[in-house]
Amino acid sequence: MSTSKDLREVFAKAFSLPVEQIPEDLEYQGIVEWDSMSHLVLVQEIEAAYGVAIEMEDILEMGSVTKVRDMLARYGVGSIV
């Protein structure tokens, strides 16, 4: 996966929502579906989709689509817009 839409698709899968309901500016607890339990599901989905192992500090800091995109860039995942 390599585009912003792909990242939103990972969020959508984790939260069992259509991708259209995942805005670019989504933040933690910005929707009912993004709570502490679904945050862990999101971590699992991101790790599976991008082949990374997310460190605990990053798990605690990934509070928005933008922060997740920045984190993936630090992990060497290219072309996340």
Model confidence, pTM: 0.89
b/e string for 42-60 if b means 16 or more Cβ within 10 A?
bbebbeebbebebeeebee
Report the residue count for the chain. Answer: 81
Tokens of 43: 């971590």
Q: Which of the two residues, 3 and 36, has the higher pLDDT score?
A: 36
**Could you read off the pLDDT of 48-57 as tens digits, one per residue?**
999 999 999 9
Q: State whether CATH 1.10.340.70 applies to domain 4-74.
A: no
**Domain spans of the chain?**
4-74
